[in-house]
Amino acid sequence: MKKIEAIIREEKLDAVRKALEKNGHFGMTISEVSGRGRQKGIPLQWRVGEYQVDFLPKLKLEMVIADKDVPDAVRLITENARSGEIGDGKIFIMPVEEIIRVRTGETGDNAV
Amino acid sequence: MAINSGDTAWILISSALVMLMTPGVALFYGGMVRRKNILSTMMMSFAILGMVGLLWVLYGYSLSFGADNGGVIGGLDFLGLRGVGQEPSAVYATTVPHLAYMIFQAMFAIITVALITGAVVERIKFSALLIFSALWLTFVYAPVAHWVWGSGGWLSRLGALDFAGGTVVHICAGMSALALSLVLGPRKGFGNGSAMEPNNIPIVALGAGLLWFGWFGFNAGSALTAGGLASSAFVATNTSAAAAAFTWMFLSWLYRRPTLLGTATGAVAGLVAITPAAGFVPPLAGIPIGIGAAVVCYYCMILRTKWRVDESLDVWAVHGMGGTWGALATGLFASAAVNSAGADGLFFGNALLLGKQLIGIVTVWAFAFGVSWVIAKVIDMLFGLRVSPAEETVGLDISQHGERAYGSLLR
C-alpha cells in the first residue's frame, strides 16, 4: 500500500477528481494548504502598487491505494493537474504500514 | 426665526447619516489590516463614538461654537449644553432647533477623530490612542472648527469657503495622521518585504458603501435647509464620488488589473474632495473635482510609499491631500449663482477666492500637523504610544482587547 500526497492547483481539483473517479479511485482527502516553490509567492495589488504574498493557496490531495494502482493514479493526477506553467505542484509517494477501516476493523488491501 | 419642520427633519436625518459613517470607517479600515488586528482597528472608531459623543456635549460644542474670543476659539457659554435647547440658535441654522444643529456637529467631530486612526493601526497602545483623541479634539478640532464655522471665526471672516469640512475635517485629520504616525514609527516588518495583507476586502467595500451613503448627510445636510441647495450639494457629491471611483479603477487597470480595493478608495477620495465644494459649485463640477481627487490621492499614496513612511492606511494621502485639492477646487469652481452665501471662484472671474482658500489650507496644515506632533510627543514621553514588540507580533486584538475576530473550528 502506498500513500500519494499531491500538491495541486485549486482550479485543477475538479479535473483530477473526475479522472480518478472514472478509473475507480474513489477515496481521497483534500485540504487547503499554503505553499511555495521556486517562484517564491506572487504579487497582489494594494490600493497603489502591489505587495508580495509569500505563500500561495494550493490543495493537498491525499489518497492511500494498493501498490498496483499507483502508476495509474500518478498518471491521471499528472495529466489532469498540469497547466505547463510554473506552480503545477508535486506528487509524493510513501509506503504505508497498515490501514484499518474503522467501521469494520478490516485491514490491509481490503481496507483500501 | 421660526422652526421649519422640513429643515429639522432633514438635519436630524442627516445627523443619523453622518453617525453611520463612523462604523463605516471602522469597516473600511478594519478590512485593510491583518486579521490579528481587525478588532482593534474597528474598536478605535467605536471607542471614539463613545468618548467624543460625551466630550462634545460636555464642552466640545461650546469651544467650537460658543461666543467668539478673538476669532480663535469659542467661549464656555454652551458648557454642558447650557442654553442649547429646542429653540433655534440666533446665528447657526436658524430654522432648526439648536439641539439638532449641535448633534449634527457632534457627528462631524466624531468621524474626524476616527479618520486619524487609520494612520496608526496595528501598533498603537489603545489607552494612548484615547488620550490622544481627547486632547486632539480639544486642541486641534475645536479651534479649527471655530475658525471656519464658528460665528466670528477668523477664517470665516476672511471669506475662505468650506461647505462641509474639507479643511476642518479632512485636512485636519490628514495632517494630524501624518504627524502622529511619524512620532509613533512604522509597524514591525514595514518596508522589508513582509506582507501586510488586507484580511477582508468585502468589509472594506461595505465600509466604503456606508461612507458614500452617509456622506449625503454630511454634504447635503450641511446646507442646513431642506431645499434646492441641499439637492445641488447632493448631486455634486454623488457625481464626484462616481468620477473618482471610476478614475481610480482605470488607474489600477493601467497598473495591472482594476481592483475593488482601489475603486472603493477612489470613491472615498472623490467624496473627500467634493466636501468643501459641494454647496458652492455647480453639480457638474463634481466631474473634474472627482477625477482630480483620484489622480492626486493615487500619486500621493505612491509618494508616501516612496518616503517609506508607515502612515498605514493613507489618511494623509486621501484626506489631507484630497481635502487640499477640494479646498483649492472650491476656489476654482465656486459660483455665487449656486449659493449666494458663497463667492465666485477663479473660473467665474474671481482670483481672490483662491488666495483665501490657500491661506486656509496652509494655516490648517501647519496648525494641525504641529499641535498633533506636540501632543503625540508628550504622550509618548509620559505613557508611551506603542505596544510592546511581543504584543505587536501577537496582534492587538488579543493583546489590547482580549478577543479575536474569527472563532476556530477546533477550539
Task: Convert the pLDDT of each residue in A88-98 to its tens digit.
Answer: 999 999 999 99
Q: Which of residues 67-106 of A touch B (CB under 8 A)?
A: none
**Distance, first Cα to last Cα, chain B:** 63
Task: Give pLDDT, residue A109.
Answer: 87
User: B5-401 — its CATH code?
Assistant: 1.10.3430.10
Range A2-111 classified under CATH 3.30.70.120: yes
The sheet with strand A2-8 has its strands ordered as A29-35, A56-65, A2-8, A90-95
Q: Given pLDDT bands bounded at 50, 70 and 90, which one contains residue B211?
A: very high
Per-chain mean pLDDT for chain A = 93
Q: Given pLDDT bands bounded at 50, 70 and 90, which one contains residue B410?
A: low
Task: Give pLDDT, residue A52.
Answer: 85
Count of CA atoms in the C-beta half-sphere (13 A) of A14: 1
Minimal C-alpha gap between B313 and chain A (Å): 10
CB contact under 8 A, B314 and A52: no
- Residue A52: list chain B partners with CB under 8 A: 193, 195
CB contact under 8 A, B193 and A52: yes
Task: Give pLDDT, residue A41.
Answer: 81
Q: Given pLDDT bands bounded at 50, 70 and 90, which one contains residue B408?
A: confident
- B243 Cβ contact partners less than 8 Å away, ≥ 6 residues apart: B270, B286, B287, B288, B289, B290, B291, B294
Containing B262, the helix (H) or strand (E) segment is: helix B260-274
Interface test with B, best of A48, A52, A53, A55 (most B CBs within 10 A): A48
CB contact under 8 A, B252 and A45: yes
- Asked whether the predicted pLDDT for residue B411 surpasses 70, the reply is no
CB contact under 8 A, A50 and B256: yes
Minimal C-alpha gap between B120 and chain A (Å): 18
Closest residue of chain B to A54, computed from CA coordinates: B195
Summarize the confidence of residues B343-366 as an average pLDDT. Answer: 96
Question: What would the grid cell of residue B4 be?
Answer: 421649519
For the question of an ipTM over 0.95, the answer is no
- Domain coordinates in residue numbering, chain A: 2-111
- Residue B196: list chain A partners with CB under 8 A: 51
CB contact under 8 A, A46 and B261: yes
Burial class (CB in 10 A: 0-12, 13-18, 19+), B55: buried
Q: Given pLDDT bands bounded at 50, 70 and 90, which one contains residue B113?
A: very high
Which tens digit of pLDDT belongs to each residue from B220-275?
999 999 999 999 999 999 999 999 999 999 999 999 999 999 999 999 999 999 99
Task: Give pLDDT, residue B14.
Answer: 98
Of the ranges A32-41, B16-25, B390-399, which one carries the lowest mean pLDDT score?
A32-41
- Domain coordinates in residue numbering, chain B: 5-401
Please name which of B30, B3, B387, B403 lies closest in space to residue B199, comparing C-alpha atoms: B30
pTM over 0.90: yes
B261 near A CB under 8 A: yes
Summarize the confidence of residues B80-86 as an average pLDDT. Answer: 96
Which tens digit of pLDDT belongs to each residue from B373-389?
999 999 999 999 999 99
Question: What would the grid cell of residue B227 be?
Answer: 431645499
Across the interface, of A45, A48, A51, the residue whose CB is closest to B301 is A48
Task: Give pLDDT, residue A19.
Answer: 97
